[in-house]
A and B are shown apart, each in its own frame.
Chain A
């Protein structure tokens, strides 16, 4: 009898301790992930990762088709955005939207032959191009306060967030701003590097080799 009683007691104790440990570790992980989300785009390692990806993408851009019509500025921007989306590791909606939009553009360009769309529009007149669009906002004009309108504008700015509810847009925007700031830091550093070396020739001595960060 005593053994029967003690066995479940020990089992529950061990279960409780296991559950407590699991809960504690999960809470710690959540807190760490939140902290990581806040400072993820500010860490040096993240910027270095992004810079190396950017360099790879840029070397592909310049080698393939130099001096296209807009001078490749748009191509550089697209490559930088793609590298940024890859650096986000697909955890956010805007990064996935950037990556999928590139694929959609490629498929659309292959499917549509160039002359057909223009001819269709000219033959059928303007009836095809003008689709009557009933915007959802017309249903309840009074219940859209300024906050909602501004959040919608914000949703259009952040890629992939046009039809998302309000808290999703706000969360995506916070991550997107951090990522953009990191992109600007990395690109300006790269531009300074290129312009500095270009101006001074190859005489500038490389800085002392710093050991890469081993932790994190």
Chain B
């Protein structure tokens, strides 16, 4: 499997080693909360990538929800502006 992967990579032009890819995949694996909690080290690269895609989509959704909430809070003018000024002073 690794030899096939290296062949397909070489057609792209630059030499990218499998070790580099595995390194990056393990780095991603450390960031994902779900896989980090499981004690299995043998997680396939496809699984890690799938979890990464799902995680990024959920993070996007969370940011969208938070921005909706923030826009509603900012719509109430006076208290919001006072709070913003106050938080700026506190920082």
A residues lining the B interface (CB < 8 Å): 48, 51-52, 55, 58-59, 61-62, 66-67, 71-77, 80, 140, 143-148, 150-151, 153-154, 157-158, 165-167, 170-171, 173-174, 176-178, 180-181, 183-184, 187-188, 190-191, 193-195, 197-198, 201-202, 206-207, 209, 212
Hey, which chain A residues are within 8 Å of B73, CB to CB?
Answer: 191, 194-195, 198
With an 8 Å Cβ cutoff, the count of chain B residues facing the other chain is 54
How far is it, in angstroms, between the C-alpha of A146 and the C-alpha of B4 when the chains are bound? 13
Q: Would A184 and B79 be within 8 Å (CB), given that A147-B46, A170-B24 are in contact?
A: no
| B43 part of interface (Cβ distance < 8 Å) | no
How far, in angstroms, from A148 to B7 measured CA to CA in the complex? 13
* Bound CA–CA A140/B7 (angstroms): 13
Q: Which of A73, A150, A171, A206 has a CB less than 8 Å from the CB of B90?
A: A206
Question: In the bound complex, do residue A76 and residue B82 qualify as a contact, i.e. CB atoms below 8 Å apart?
Answer: no
List residues of chain A with CB within 8 A of the CB of B40: none
Chain B residues closer than 8 Å to A76, beta-carbon distance: 67-68, 70-71, 74
User: Among B31, B50, B64, B79, which residue has its beta carbon within 8 angstroms of that of A150?
Assistant: B50
> Which of A71, A150, A167, A202 sits near B16, CB closer than 8 Å?
A167
User: In the complex, A51→B84 CA distance in Å?
Assistant: 11
Residues of B within 8 A of A181 (CB): 59
Interfacial chain B residues near A197, Cβ < 8 Å: 79, 82-83, 86
In the complex, what's the smallest C-beta–C-beta distance from B9 to chain A, in angstroms?
7
Q: A158-B56, A198-B73, A212-B91 are in contact. List 12 more A-B contacts (CB 8 A).
A: A59-B81, A61-B74, A71-B75, A73-B71, A74-B67, A157-B60, A165-B12, A166-B21, A173-B52, A180-B63, A191-B73, A197-B82
B: residues with CB less than 8 A from A are 1, 4-5, 7-9, 12, 14, 16, 20-21, 24-25, 27-28, 31, 45-46, 49-50, 52-53, 55-57, 59-60, 62-64, 66-77, 79-84, 86-91
Question: CA separation between A55 and B67, bound complex, in Å?
Answer: 13
Q: Once the chains bind, are B16 and A166 in contact (CB under 8 Å)?
A: yes
Q: Which residue of the partner chain, among B5, B27, B76, contacts A174 with CB atoms under 8 Å?
A: B27
Enumerate chain A residues within 8 angstroms of B91, measured Cβ to Cβ.
Answer: 48, 51-52, 212
